[in-house]
Amino acid sequence: MPILTKAEAKALLTKVLSYSKAEQCEVNLNCSDSGNIRYARNSVSTSGGISANSLVVSSAFGKKLGTATINEFDDASLEKVVRRAEELAQLAPENPEFMPFLSPQEYGADSPTFSPVTAAVTPKDRADAVQASLKQAIDSKLNAAGFLSNSIGCSAMMNSKGLFAYNTSTDVAFNITVRTDDGKGSGYATRGYNDFSKLNAKADTAIAAKKAMSSVTAKAIEPGKYTVILEPTAVAVMLENLFFSMDARQADEGRSFMSKTGGKTKLGEQLVDERVNIYSDPWNPELPTATWSGDGRPQQKVNWIEKGVVKNLYSSRYWAQKTGIKAIPFPAGAIMKGGTKTLEELIKGTEKGILVTRLWYIRTVDPQTLLLTGLTRDGTFYIENGEIKFPVKNFRFNESPIIMLNNLDEIGIAERTVSAESEANYLLPPLRIRDFTFTSLSDAV
Amino acid sequence: MKRRNFIYLTGVGAAAAMLPAIPVFGKEISPEQALTYIDPAAKKILSDVALNAARSKGATYTDVRVGRYLNQYVVTREDKVENIVNTESYGIGIRVISNGSWGFAATDKMDKDSIAKAAELAVTIAKENARLLREPVKLAPQKGYGEVSWKAPIEKNTFEVPVKEKVDLLLAVNDAAMKGGVDYINSILFAVNEQKYFASTDGSYIDQDIHRIWPTFFITKIDKATGKFETRNALSAPTGKGYEYLDARPQDKIQTASGTLYKGRYDMLEDATQGARQLGEKMKAKSVEPGKYDLVLDPSHLWLTIHESCGHPTELDRVLGYEANYAGTSFLTLDKWESKKFNYGSKEVNITADKTEVGSLGAVGYDDEGVKCGKWDVIKDGILVNYQAIRDQAHILGLNASQGCCYADNWSSVQFQRMANISLQPGKAKLSIADQIKNVEKGIYIVGDGSFSIDQQRYNFQFGGQLYYEIKDGKIAGMLKDVAYQANTQEFWNSCVAICDESDYRLGGSFFDGKGQPGQVSAVSHGSATTRFNKVNVINTARKI
C-alpha cells in the first residue's frame, strides 16, 4: 500500500476520533513498506518484501486507559476499534501514573527524513547494488556476506485535545563482511542513509576487503591497558550504552551510573573530559530524525553532555511532573561533536596504540559503573610511530564508557555511523583513548 | 540481541522513557479475542491461493505460513501495574524457489488479491536475485504429511487465566520482596501463543498451537550511605508450558545450602522472598579475589553458557558462513566434524539437540518448513559428531533429510536455521549438588544467569551470574560479588570433570535469542545438571567512576 499523505492521514484520524465517546482519545497510525536482500558465500541467500500497517487507538476515562489496534481501515472497522479501546479502558485498573494526553504542540519545520529516491527503489535496484558488491569481492578473490534493506514509512497521530503530528521517512541500511578464503582475515563496513542514491555498495565492499586482506596473519600481543583509536562504529556501541542509561527516574531512584548517595544525581556535574559534547538535533542534515516522539512530545535540539558536564536526562512525562523537571523524550539519534582530524591523522599522531575498527557483543557487566564487556572484530591493528605496523589478534575488553571518556586523548571528524548492535544511526567521531582495558585474547577471526 | 527491546518494552532497565518510540510486537487485542482460534479450513483456502498464485508465476517450490502470533505481558513495579497488553500479529508469509533462487514476501492484507500479489512479489524477487546465485538451492527431499496438527501438551492455557489472577500474583510477589527489604522490584509475566499453519507444494497442511510462558522479576537494593546498589533476578526459566508452570509442587523444588532451586515448575512468591534475603547477603558479600577457581555451575546459570558456546557454534549456517555478516561464523569447522576426533570437551560431555523435549521452548511437532522434529547427538563423549541443519543444508552433511531446525519468528519473517534445544546430558553415576561442592577445595558455586558475551567464532567468552558462593575445602564459605569468568570454549569444556545425575537435570532457556538480518528472535531451552569445571579464570569486575 502506498503511504498516506498528510491530508489523507489527517482525514483518516479525524474520522477515527469522530467515533470516540471517551473523555480522551488518541490515535497513532504507522505504515511501512520494506524490502531486503541478504547474501553470503558470494551468493544471494534470503530476501523479501514486507508490507504492514497499524492503527492504535487509546481511550481514557479518568486514569483508566484502554488500547486497541486494527489494520483494516473501512468505517465499520474504525468504529469497532474505538469501541473496543473504550471497553478495555472501562475494565482497566486505575493507573496512578497516567498522564492526560498532550494539547497541540509546536514541532518546528519538518525534518528531511524522507527521500523520494529511496521510496522508488525496486527489487532490481537492490539486486544491482548487491551485484556491484559481489563483483568487488569476487574480483579480489574474497568472500562476501552482506545485507541491504530499504524502507518507506509514515507515522501520524491525533488526539481529542487537537494534537496532530505527521512524518514520513525512508531508511537504507547496508553492511558487509568480507573474509579471505582461508578464514584468516576479515573486514567490515556499515552504512545508514535516508537517501538510497548515497549508497555506494562497491566502495564500501572495497573498504571491508582492504581490512580483510590487511588483517591476515594477526599476531598475538599481551592483553592489558593500551592507547586505542576507536573507529566511529566502535564508538557507537560504547556510547549508546551511555545514552540508554540517561533516564532521570533511574538516576533519582539510585540505580544508575548517574546516581549519588542520598537520592542525589550527577546532573550538572562534570562527568567526563571537557572536550566531550553530546547532543541530539532532529534537523541535523546528516542525521535527520522525526520532530516528535510517539506520545506527541516535540523532539528538540537537546544538549546531553556539554563540555563534559551532564546537562539533561530524559524522562517520562509522569516523572518529570513529579520531580519538576522538563519532560524530555528519549532522542531519535545522538551526535558527538567532532574535531578536525581524519582517522589517518589520528593514527599518524599515535606513538604506540591499537586501531579498533569494530567492537561486538557488548553487554553491561555492572550498571553502577556502566562497565561493559565485548570484543574487537573484523580488523584490529597495532600502531607504532604513527603507522599501522601489523594486524593483531582480537581482544576481549572490560571498560566503562565513562572511564573511556575521561581517558580521552583526541577527537576526530564526526561522521554518520551505525551501531552493529542496535542498528541505530549516530553522528560520531573516531576517538583516541588512553588506557583502554583489554582483559584476554580471542582466537576468533 | 533483541533482549534489549524487550527490556525497553516492559519499562525495566534504564530506558523506560523510550516506551512510546519502540515498535510493539504486534497489534493489541482484548483478552477474549486471544481465545478465538482461526479455523484451519479457512487457513487452507488462503494457503492454496498463495500456492497456486506462486506456481502460476513460475515457482518450482512454495511454502506458505499463515500465522497468528499472540503475546500477553503483564508488567508491574512495587505496588503498581504498569502495563497490561495483549498483542496479535496476523498475516501470511510466502516463500518460493524460482530460477533456483529463494524469494519471500509477506502481507497482513488477508484478502485473496493481496495474497496473490504477495506470492507474485516473492517470485519476482526470486527471479531478480537468481543472477546473484552461484548455485541453485538444493532442498533435501520432504514428503507431504497431508492435513495434520500438533498442540503443545499444556495443562492450563495462560491466555485463559484471568488477567486479575496474574496481576494479583505479581503484586503479591512484589509485596513479598518489598517486605524482605528490597528498594525496588519489577515483575513481569510474559506469555506467547503461536498459532501457525504451514502449507507447501510438497503436500503438507500443518496446523500447530505452541505456548510459552516466562514469569520473572528484577529486584534492587540500595545502600543509602554509600550509594552502592546490587540486583538479583528471578531464578525462573522461560518454558514451553502453560500456566501450570506457576503451580510448583514439592517435587519441583530442590533444597540447597543457598536456598530453593526449581525444577519443572516455579514458586515465584517463594523465590521473591528468598531473593530479598539473598540480595541482603549480596550487599555485604566479599569482592572476589581474581584467579583460577573450580566452578560449580547450577543449571539456572549453565544453560546460557551451553547456549552460547555449544548451541551457536554447532549451527550449520554459521559453520558455512551464512551468518558471517552478523552473528558470525563458528570455530567448529567441517574438517573438525569430518575428522571424527575433535575433542570439543572431556569424555563427560554429551550434548544433544532435541526438538521434542516436553515442556521445552523449542518443542514443536514440525518445523517451519514442514519437517517432523526429532532428537540427535551433537557432542558424543566429548567429540563433535553433528550439527543443526535445515532442508537446503542437509546435503552438505550427506544427510537425505533435514534435521528440522527451521523457524521464523513471525509470518512477516523468512524462516531460516534456528537453534534446537541443545542440552548437556546428566552424569550416569549418582552425584548430588552437595557432593559436587564437597569435592571442591577452592571454588565458586554460581546460581542464575547474568552478563554474557562471546566472540563471533565462539572461542572466547565471559559470563557473570546472579549469586556467587565461595567454596573453601568442600564447604560454602559465604557469598562473593564482582565475579565473572573468562574462558576459551574448548578449554572450558575439556575442564568439565563431573556432572550431577539425572535427578538434578533442569531446563533453562532464552525467550529472545537474536539472529539473522533483518533480526529475528527465537525461544530455546537448554537442559543440564549441576556441573563442575576445573581451574577457570575468574576476574574481578568492580570499578570506580
Least CB-CB distance to A88: which of B30, B104, B518? Answer: B30
Chain B residues within 8 A of A124 when measuring between CB atoms = 128
Please report, rounded to a whole number, the percentage of residues in chain A having pLDDT higher than 90. 89
Kindly determine whether residue A293 and residue B20, on different chains, have CB atoms separated by under 8 Å: yes
pLDDT of residue B26: 45
- What is the distance, to the nearest Å, from the Cα of residue B521 to the centroid of all Cα atoms in its chain? 9
pLDDT of residue B17: 28
- Is pLDDT at B22 greater than 80 in this prediction? no
pLDDT of residue B31: 52
Please report, rounded to a whole number, the percentage of residues in chain B having pLDDT higher than 70. 93
Tell me, yes or no, whether B198 and B325 share the same domain: no
- Is pLDDT at A91 greater than 80 in this prediction? no
Please compute the mean of the pLDDT values over residues B300-329 and round it to a whole number: 97
Chain B residues within 8 A of A247 when measuring between CB atoms = 14-17
Tell me, yes or no, whether B210 and B307 share the same domain: no
pLDDT of residue B12: 36
Among B453, B491, B537, which would you mutate to test the A interface (most chain A Cβ atoms within 10 Å of its Cβ)? Answer: B453
Kindly determine whether residue B129 and residue A439, on different chains, have CB atoms separated by under 8 Å: no
Give the span between the Cα atoms of A67 and A56, in whole angstroms.
Answer: 7
Question: Of B170, B192, B219, at which residue does a domain stop?
Answer: B219
Residue A73: count other Cβ atoms within 10 Å of its Cβ: 16
Rounded to two decimals, the ipTM of the complex is 0.93
Kindly determine whether residue B220 and residue A255, on different chains, have CB atoms separated by under 8 Å: yes
Chain B residues within 8 A of A67 when measuring between CB atoms = 28, 85
Question: How high does pLDDT run on average in chain A?
Answer: 95
Chain B residues within 8 A of A73 when measuring between CB atoms = none
- B30 pLDDT band, cuts 50/70/90, is low
pLDDT tens per residue across span B95-137: 999 999 999 999 988 899 999 999 999 999 999 999 999 999 9
Cβ–Cβ < 8 Å for B500, B436: yes
pLDDT of residue B465: 98
pLDDT of residue B32: 54
The boundaries of the domain holding residue B133 are 3-219
Question: Of B219, B250, B271, at which residue does a domain stop?
Answer: B219
- B258 pLDDT band, cuts 50/70/90, is confident
Distance from CA of A231 to the nearest CA of B (A): 18
User: Is residue B263 in some structural domain?
Assistant: no
Kindly determine whether residue A130 and residue B329, on different chains, have CB atoms separated by under 8 Å: no
Tell me, yes or no, whether B393 and B523 share the same domain: yes
pLDDT of residue A72: 74
Looking at the structure of chain B, the number of domains it has is 2
- Counting beta carbons within 10 angstroms of the beta carbon of residue A222, is it exposed (0 to 12), middle (13 to 18) or buried (19 or more)? exposed
- B1 pLDDT band, cuts 50/70/90, is very low
**Residue with the larger pLDDT of the pair A290 and B3:** A290
**Which residue of chain B is at minimal alpha-carbon distance from A70?**
B27
- Is pLDDT at B439 greater than 70 in this prediction? yes
Tell me, yes or no, whether B209 and B65 share the same domain: yes
- A77 pLDDT band, cuts 50/70/90, is confident
- B85 pLDDT band, cuts 50/70/90, is confident
pLDDT of residue B29: 55
pLDDT tens per residue across span A40-49: 999 999 888 8
Tell me, yes or no, whether B358 and B448 share the same domain: yes
Q: Cα torsion at A269, A273, A274, A275 (round to 10°)?
A: -140
User: Is residue B48 in some structural domain?
Assistant: yes
Q: Cα torsion at B263, B265, B268, B271 (round to 10°)?
A: -10
Kindly determine whether residue A147 and residue B537, on different chains, have CB atoms separated by under 8 Å: no
pLDDT of residue B33: 61
Kindly determine whether residue A179 and residue B321, on different chains, have CB atoms separated by under 8 Å: yes
pLDDT tens per residue across span B150-180: 999 999 999 999 888 999 999 999 999 999 9
Specify the pTM. Answer: 0.94
Q: What b/e sequence results for B127-159 when a residue is b if at least 16 CB atoms lie within 10 Å of its CB, and e otherwise?
A: bbbbebbeeebebbebeebeebebebebebbbb
Chain A residues within 8 A of B14 when measuring between CB atoms = 244-247, 250, 256, 367
Distance from CA of B2 to the nearest CA of A (A): 9
Tell me, yes or no, whether B395 and B512 share the same domain: yes
- B89 pLDDT band, cuts 50/70/90, is confident
Give CA separation, B407 vs A43, A368, B192, B198, B363, in Å. 22, 38, 15, 11, 12
Q: Which domains does chain A have, with CATH numbers?
A: 6-213 (3.30.2290.10), 217-239+338-441 (no CATH)
Tell me, yes or no, whether B214 and B105 share the same domain: yes
Tell me, yes or no, whether B394 and B486 share the same domain: yes
Distance from CA of A306 to the nearest CA of B (A): 18
Q: Which amino acid is at A18?
A: S
User: Is residue B232 in some structural domain?
Assistant: no
SS3 A322: helix
Kindly determine whether residue B545 and residue A403, on different chains, have CB atoms separated by under 8 Å: yes
**Which residue of chain B is at minimal alpha-carbon distance from A332?**
B21
User: Is residue B67 in some structural domain?
Assistant: yes
Contacts of B250 (CB under 8 A, 6+ apart): none
Tell me, yes or no, whether B299 and B421 share the same domain: yes
Give the span between the Cα atoms of A198 and A168, in whole angstroms.
Answer: 19
Q: Which amino acid is at B191?
A: A
Give the span between the Cα atoms of A154 and A170, in whole angstroms.
Answer: 9
The CATH number covering residue B95 comes to: 3.30.2290.10
User: Is residue B241 in some structural domain?
Assistant: no
Among B132, B392, B458, which would you mutate to test the A interface (most chain A Cβ atoms within 10 Å of its Cβ)? Answer: B132
Please compute the mean of the pLDDT values over residues B469-475 and round it to a whole number: 98
- B23 pLDDT band, cuts 50/70/90, is very low
- A90 pLDDT band, cuts 50/70/90, is confident
- Tell me which DSSP letter residue A267 carries: T
Question: Of B200, B219, B238, at which residue does a domain stop?
Answer: B219
User: Is residue B319 in some structural domain?
Assistant: yes
User: Is residue B272 in some structural domain?
Assistant: no
pLDDT of residue A409: 98
pLDDT tens per residue across span A360-407: 999 999 999 999 999 999 999 999 999 999 999 999 999 999 999 999
pLDDT tens per residue across span B179-204: 999 999 999 999 999 999 999 999 99
Which of these ranges, A222-231, A315-324, B10-19, B390-399, has the smallest mean pLDDT? B10-19
**Which residue of chain A is at minimal alpha-carbon distance from B332?**
A444
User: Is residue B169 in some structural domain?
Assistant: yes
Residue B35: count other Cβ atoms within 10 Å of its Cβ: 12
Kindly determine whether residue B225 and residue A261, on different chains, have CB atoms separated by under 8 Å: yes
Contacts of A344 (CB under 8 A, 6+ apart): none
Please compute the mean of the pLDDT values over residues A400-423 and round it to a whole number: 97
pLDDT of residue B404: 97
Please compute the mean of the pLDDT values over residues B459-482 and round it to a whole number: 98
- Is pLDDT at B317 greater than 90 in this prediction? yes
Phi, then psi, of B533 in degrees rounded to 5: -125, 130
The C-alpha cell at A428 is 560520531
Phi, then psi, of B377 in degrees rounded to 5: -80, 140
Classify the phi-psi angles of A141: left when phi > 0, otherwise alpha if psi is within -120 to 50, otherwise beta.
left
The C-alpha cell at A247 is 533516564
Give the span between the Cα atoms of A263 and A227, in whole angstroms.
Answer: 36
Chain A residues within 8 A of B453 when measuring between CB atoms = 361-363, 373-375, 396
Distance from CA of A200 to the nearest CA of B (A): 18
Kindly determine whether residue B324 and residue A143, on different chains, have CB atoms separated by under 8 Å: yes
Chain B residues within 8 A of A92 when measuring between CB atoms = 84
pLDDT of residue A121: 95
Tell me, yes or no, whether B213 and B359 share the same domain: no
Least CB-CB distance to A293: which of B15, B21, B414? Answer: B21
Kindly determine whether residue A444 and residue B537, on different chains, have CB atoms separated by under 8 Å: no
Question: How high does pLDDT run on average in chain B?
Answer: 92
Which of these ranges, A278-282, A401-405, B1-5, B358-362, has the smallest mean pLDDT? B1-5
Query: Chains A, B: CB contacts under 8 A, how many?
Result: 286
Kindly determine whether residue B412 and residue A52, on different chains, have CB atoms separated by under 8 Å: yes
Tell me, yes or no, whether B319 and B191 share the same domain: no
Which of these ranges, A213-227, B67-81, B210-224, B520-534, has the smallest mean pLDDT? B67-81
Q: Where are the alpha helices (DSSP H) in B142-204?
A: 163-179
- Counting beta carbons within 10 angstroms of the beta carbon of residue B44, is it exposed (0 to 12), middle (13 to 18) or buried (19 or more)? middle
CA proximity to B401, closest of B409, B389, B410: B389
Tell me, yes or no, whether B341 and B484 share the same domain: yes
